[in-house]
Amino acid sequence: MDIRKVKKLIELLEESELTEIEISEGEESIRLSRSNSGTQVYSVPAQAMPPTPPNTVAEPSSDNHAGSESLPTDKVPVVSPMVGTYYASPNPDTPSYVELGTEVNVGDTLCVIEAMKIFNPVDTESAGIVCKIFKHSGDPVEFGEPLFLIDPLSP
């Protein structure tokens, strides 16, 4: 793994409220963990890491406003697929991908998450109406944190 990427991960960890970041690239893996005494770096081969079970989503942290309220069961949450920075539009001079009340179809881009200077689109997996947006452009997001609620369209 490139030392510049490791330094960027350390900066990301230090700038955020996260206590741990774990990244895998091919056969390489790195785990950064912050304690009271500073940041610790661990690097292990990817084979040594336990496999992640399919279709699992981390529970949102209880210290954010989205996690403090329970999500309605009749709505479809769209959660962050990674740690990074939320952006509602491709750049500050353009309108948001979606707003409250926007009708979306499967595969529509809802926002982008910037991680390590790479902008990753977040697409919806269900059609419906955007009924809640949890974040504002520039907000930090964690893996599994709710970003949107989609009210599914009736058949």
Q: Give yes or no: residues 133 and 84 share one domain.
A: yes
- In this structure, is residue 126 part of a structural domain? yes
Q: Residue 144 belongs to a domain with what CATH number? A: 2.40.50.100
- In this structure, is residue 60 part of a structural domain? no
d(CA 44, CA 48): 7
What's the domain range around 139? 76-152
- The number of folded domains in the chain is 2
Q: Give yes or no: residues 41 and 83 share one domain.
A: no
* Exposure letters 97-130 (e unless 16+ CB within 10 A, then b): bbeeebebeeeeebbbbebeeeeeebebeeebbb
- In this structure, is residue 53 part of a structural domain? no
Q: Give yes or no: residues 81 and 126 share one domain.
A: yes
Beta-ladder partners of 76: 150
C-beta atoms surrounding 145 within 10 Å: 23
Between the alpha carbon of residue 154 and those of residues 26, 103, 127, 132, the distances in Å are 42, 12, 10, 18
Q: Give yes or no: residues 108 and 146 share one domain.
A: yes
Per-residue confidence (pLDDT) for residue 83, from 0 to 100 = 93
Q: Give yes or no: residues 15 and 83 share one domain.
A: no
Q: Over the chain, what is the mean pLDDT?
A: 77
pLDDT tens, position by position, 111-148: 999 998 889 999 999 999 999 999 999 999 999 999 99
Per-residue confidence (pLDDT) for residue 47, from 0 to 100 = 46
- In this structure, is residue 128 part of a structural domain? yes
Residue 88 predicted with pLDDT over 80:
yes
